[in-house]
Chains A and B, each alone.
Chain A
Amino acid sequence: MSDRKELPLVGQPDSAPGGECATCSHRENLVQLGINMQDWDYIVALAGNPNVGKSTVFNALTGLKQHTGNWPGKTVARAEGGFQFNGKRYKIVDLPGAYSLLSASVDEEVARDFILFGKPDCTIVVVDATQLERNLNLVMQVMEITDRVVVCLNLMDEARRKGIEVDDRALSRHLGVPVVPTAARHGEGLGLLMRTVAELVQGQIKTAPHQIQGNEEFKRAVAELAPMIESAFPGLPNARWVAMRLLDGDYRVRQALESGELASLMQ
C-alpha cells in the first residue's frame, strides 16, 4: 500500500559520502531517491503544511508554473525545479504538504523520508503567517531531523490584511533558525529567502534549533537512548529524533537502523 518501496534502502555504510564534494552532503542517497544530481551544487527541500502557498513559493523561486490550488493535498508527488543564485545552482524539491512528520500517511512519509535520508543541504519550511501556531508543529519536527532549516514566513500579505503582526526576528530567536517573511504571490521577500538559503548552505549562518521539550518521562527516556545512538553513529545529526521515533515504535526508522541505512547518514 505504501510508497515505501520507491524510496529505496541504501544499506551500504561503506559508501557513505565525504568524498567528492565537501559541501554537498549526500549525493548517493539523493541519486537513489530519484534526484538527478548532475549540474546542481546544492539541494534544497521545500516543506510545509498543506495550503500555505508552498507551490507558489516553489514557482516563484524556480519560475516554473506548477499548478497551485487552494486546497490541502494538491501536491501529492514531488515536484522539482531549480534556481541560480550568486553563481551557484540550487535544486529545489517540493515535498508533499504535511501537518507532521510522524508518518501517518504516504505523503507525510514521502516528506519525512526525503528530509531524513535525502539530507538536503537546506530545508525551507513554508509557514502560514496567519496560522503560525499550527504551522510551528511541522517546523519543530523538521528541526529535530536537521539543523539546516530556513523558515519562510509566507502569506504576510494576508496576515497584514487580517491585522495580524508577526515579529519575525523574535520568531527566529525562539526557533534558533533564520526566518524570512515573504508574500510569494507578489514576489515579496524571495530575494532575501534565496540569500538566506545561500548563506546557510555555505555555513555563514549557524543555527541552533529549538528542541522539543517534553515532559519528564520523555526527557528521561530520550536522554538515555540518544547518547547510545550517538556513540554508535558518531556524527549522526539527529540522534535525539531517532531516539524519539524508536520509542514511538516507528517501523521505518527501526528498519533503517537495522539495515545500516542510518549509518550512511553520519557526517
Chain B
Amino acid sequence: MAETKATPQEILARADALKQTLDVTFRDKIVESIYADAESIAAKVVRKAGERQFDLDQKIDRIVTSKVWGLPLMGFLLAGVFWVTITGANYPSQLIALALFWIEEQAAALFTAIGIPWWATGFLWHGVYRGLAWVVAVMLPPMTIFFPAFTILEDLGYLPRAAFNVDPFFKKAGAHGKQALTMSMGLGCNAAGVTGCRIIDSPRERLIAILTNNFMPCNGRWPTLIMLAMLFVAAAFPPSFAAFAAAGSLLFIVLIGVAMTLIVSAVLSRTFLKGEASTFVLELPPYRRPNVLQVLYTSLLDRTLFVLWRAIVMAAPAGGVIWLMSNIHVADHSLTTWVSGWLDPVGRAIGLDGVILLAYVIAIPANEIVIPTILMAYTNTGMMIEIESLSELRHVLVDQQGWTLLTAVSLMLFSLLHNPCSTTIWTVYKETKSAKWAAVSAVMPLSIAFILLFVLNQGAHLLHAVF
C-alpha cells in the first residue's frame, strides 16, 4: 500500500473499515490517553507547597455560590450597581444637557444671523444635532458608571459564579447554564450577547440562548428604564428613599427579563427545539484583583465610547427623520400627527399611545432614541424639546399627556420585551444563517410584549371598573 499513492477515497474507505474494528468509545479513549499523558507530565514538573493556600478562594466561593446566600447576594450586587449608576448619573446628565443645548441655541442663532434658510438650520441643529445631544446627555453619564462597575465584577471572576448559581433554573428550562453568561453580555449589548452564544456547544441550546437574549435590557434601553424609574417610581417615595426605590424597580425589571428568558426557553425546549439540557463543565476561575486603571481605560474606551458612537451614528439620521416628519404637513397636520394617530388605538389597547409606538418604529435602528422621539412628538414644536430638569419632563408627561404610573410600568415592560434593534436582528441572522430564526427573534418578543401588556392593561381597567 505504501508504495502506491493512496487516493483520498481509499484513505476514507480504510478509515471507515478501521473504525468498524474500534470500540465505539474511541473518542473517549483518545481523551483518556491525553488526560493520562497530561497527568503524568504534570506530576513530574509541578510541586505544591501545601494545599492550604487555596482556602481563601474556596471560602469566598462557599458563600458566593451557596444555596442560601448565592442568589440574594447576586440581587444585592446588581441592585448596588444600579443604585450607584442612578445616584451618580443624575447630576452630570443635567449639566451635559445644559451645555449641549446651549451650543445648539448659539449655533442656530449664528446660522440665522448669517442668513442660512430656516429649514436648513432647523434640520441640522434642531433635528440632527438635538438628537445627538439628547443621546449623549442621557447615555454618557450612566454608561460611564455602569460599565466600569460591571467590568469590575467581571474582572473579579464573579460572572461564572453567577452562572453557577442560576444553572439549576436553566437546566429545568432545558437550556444551557452558560446562557447566564451570554445574558450578562446582553445587559451591555444584545448584539454582543448573541455573538457570545458561540460559547454554547449544542446548536439547540445555542439557538435558544440567541432567541431569548433580547429579554436582557441592553444599554440602549437602560436610559429609558432609568429615566422612567427616576420619574415615576422614585417620585412615589420620599426623597431619601427614592434612589433605592428606583434601583429596586430596575432590579425588578431585570428579574422579569430573567423570568421571561426562562419561560420562553422552557417553552421552546419543549416544543420547537426539543431536547435535554446538556451537561457542561464551567470553570470557576481564581478570584483576581481587578486592575482598576485598566478597567477604567478599557470599559470607557471599548464600551462607553464604542456604544456611544453607535448611538450617535444612529441618532443623527433619526433626529433628521423626526424633524422632517414633524415639519412636513399634509392636510393641516404633520406626518407625525397622522402616523401617531393611526397607531393610537393599538397603543391605547396596551397602555401606551400612538406616539410611543411611532417612536419605537423610528428607534428600530437604535433603542437609545426612544425617549427623545416621544418628547418631540408630544410637544409638536417641530423639534426635540429641551428638558432641563426632571420636573419639567414629568410636567410634560403627566400633566399634558396624561401618563400614569400604569403608563410608565407599561412602557418599562414594553422597553424590556419588544423586538431587538436592527443590529441585533442582523447579528442573529449572521449567527444562525437563517432568515427564519432572525424573523422569529424579532416577532416573538414583540408578540409577547403586546399580549402581556394587553392583558395587564385590560386587567387593570377591569379592576378599576369593578372597584
Please give the residue numbers on chain A whose beta carbons come within 8 Å of chain B beta carbons, in ascending order.
1-3, 5, 50-51, 65-73, 76-77, 96, 99-100, 102, 104-107, 130, 132-134, 136-137, 140-141, 158, 161-168, 170-171, 174-175, 185, 210, 212-215, 217-218, 221, 224-225, 227-229, 231-232, 243-244, 246-249, 254, 257-258, 260, 262
Segment among B131-139, B165-173, B198-206 that sits at the interface with chain A = B198-206
Q: Residue B399 at the A interface, CB < 8 A? A: no
How near does chain B come to A138, taking the closest CB pair, in angstroms?
9
Interface status of B120 (Cβ within 8 A of chain A): no
Q: Establish whether residues A171 and B45, one from each chain, have CB atoms under 8 Å apart when the complex forms.
A: yes
Is there a chain A Cβ closer than 8 Å to B80's Cβ? no
Interface residue ranges of B416-467 to A (CB < 8 Å): 432-433
Interface residues of B in 282-313 (CB under 8 A from A): 282-283, 285-288, 290-291, 294, 297-299, 301-303
Nearest-Cβ distance from residue A63 to partner chain B, whole angstroms = 13
Determine the residue in chain B with the shortest Cβ distance to A174.
Answer: B41
> Which residues of B141-156 have CB atoms within 8 Å of chain A's CB atoms?
151, 154-156
User: How distant is the Cα of A174 from the Cα of B44 in the complex, in angstroms?
Assistant: 9
A264 to B239, CA, bound (A): 71
B67 within 8 A of A: no
The residue on A at minimum CB distance from B192 is A76
Q: Is B70 an interface residue (CB 8 A)?
A: no
Cα of A58 to Cα of B60 in the assembled complex, Å? 30
A228 touches B6 (CB 8 A): yes
Q: Across the interface, do A174 and B45 meet the contact criterion of CB distance under 8 Å?
A: yes
Distance of B203 from chain A, by nearest CB (Å): 4
- Please determine whether A70 and B282 come into contact, CB atoms closer than 8 angstroms: no
Q: When the two chains form the complex, which single residue of A162, A227, A258 contacts B53, counting CB atoms closer than 8 Å?
A: A162
A84 to chain B, nearest CB (A): 23
Decide if B2 is an interface residue (CB 8 Å cutoff): yes
Find out whether the CB atom of B38 lies under 8 angstroms from the CB atom of A163: no
B contact residues around A215 at 8 Å (CB) = 29, 33
Nearest-CB residue, chain B, relative to A139? B38
A140-B34 in contact (CB<8A): yes
Residue in A closest to B33 when the chains form the complex, CB atoms: A214
B31 to chain A, nearest CB (A): 8
- How distant is the Cα of A132 from the Cα of B46 in the complex, in angstroms? 8
Residues of chain A within 8 A of B287, CB atoms compared: 70
Task: Kindly count the residue-residue contacts between A and B in the assembled complex, taking CB atoms under 8 Å apart.
Answer: 206
Chain B residues with CB under 8 A of A106:
198, 206
B8, B54, B298: the one contacting A258 at CB < 8 Å is: B8
**B7–A232 CB distance below 8 A:** yes
> Contacts of A231 on B, CB cut-off 8 Å?
1-6
* Residues in B neighbouring A260, C-beta threshold 8 A: 8
Query: Contact at A65–B26, with CB atoms within 8 Å?
Result: no
- Chain B residues touching A, majority SS: helix
User: B297: which A residues are within 8 A, CB to CB?
Assistant: 65
Nearest-CB residue, chain B, relative to A106? B198
Contacts A133-B38, A254-B12 given: A163-B48 contact, CB under 8 Å? Answer: yes
Given contacts A99-B281, A164-B48, 18 further A-B contacts (CB under 8 A): A51-B283, A51-B285, A67-B299, A69-B154, A71-B159, A77-B195, A102-B30, A105-B201, A132-B46, A133-B43, A134-B38, A163-B48, A163-B49, A166-B45, A227-B2, A229-B6, A246-B12, A247-B18
Please give me the 10 A-B residue pairs with the lowest Cβ-Cβ distance, nearest first: A163-B49, A73-B199, A133-B42, A136-B38, A105-B201, A246-B15, A70-B157, A214-B33, A165-B47, A1-B203
B18 touches A224 (CB 8 A): yes
A67 touching B160, Cβ below 8 Å: no
Q: Which residues of A contact B263 (CB under 8 A)?
A: none
- Write the chain B residue with the least CB distance to A153: B45
CB atoms of A137 and B199 under 8 A apart: no
User: Do B29 and A214 touch across chains, with their CB atoms under 8 A apart?
Assistant: yes
Contact across chains for A71 and B5 when beta carbons are under 8 A apart: no
Query: What are 29 A-B contacts defined by CB distance under 8 Å?
Result: A1-B203, A1-B207, A3-B198, A65-B301, A68-B155, A68-B298, A70-B159, A70-B285, A71-B181, A72-B160, A132-B45, A133-B46, A136-B37, A137-B35, A161-B53, A163-B53, A165-B47, A166-B45, A168-B45, A170-B44, A170-B45, A175-B41, A213-B33, A214-B29, A221-B21, A225-B15, A225-B18, A228-B10, A249-B19
Residues of A within 8 A of B18 (CB): 221, 224-225, 247
Known contacts: A225-B18, A231-B2. The answer to whether A5 contacts B433 by CB under 8 A is yes
| Interface residue ranges, B against A (CB under 8 Å) | 1-12, 14-15, 18-19, 21-23, 26-27, 29-31, 33-39, 41-50, 53-54, 151, 154-157, 159-160, 178, 181, 195-196, 198-201, 203, 206-207, 281-283, 285-288, 290-291, 294, 297-299, 301-303, 432-433
B285 touches A72 (CB 8 A): yes
Task: Choose from B47, B181, B286 the contact partner of A167 (Cβ within 8 Å).
Answer: B47
Check B199 against A76 for contact (C-beta < 8 Å): yes
Instruction: Please give, as numbers and ranges, the residues of chain A lying within 8 Å of B4 by CB-CB distance.
Output: 231
Whether A210 contacts B37 by the Cβ 8 Å rule is yes
Query: A105 is contacted by which of B46, B199, B281, B301 (Cβ under 8 Å)?
Result: B199
* A248 vs B37: C-alpha distance when bound (angstroms): 19
B171 nearest CB across to chain A (Å): 18
Residue from B26, B36, B37, B291 within 8 A of A185 (CB atoms):
B291
A258 contacts which chain B residues (CB < 8 A)? 8-9, 12
- List of B residues within 8 angstroms of A166 by Cβ: 45-47
CB pair A136 B42 closer than 8 Å: yes
Chain A residues lying within 8 Å of B45, measured Cβ to Cβ, are: 132, 166-168, 170-171, 174
**Would you call A232 and B8 a contact (CB within 8 A)?**
yes
A232 to B13 Cα, complex, angstroms:
14
The reply to whether A212 and B50 form a contact with Cβ atoms under 8 Å apart is no
Task: Let me know if B33 and A225 touch, CB within 8 A.
Answer: no
On chain A, the residues within 8 Å of B42 by CB distance are 132-133, 136
**A107 x B198 contact (CB < 8 A):** yes
Whole-angstrom distance between the Cβ of B191 and the nearest chain A Cβ: 12
Residue of A nearest to B27 (CB): A248
Q: Note all chain A residues with C-beta closer than 8 A to B21.
A: 221
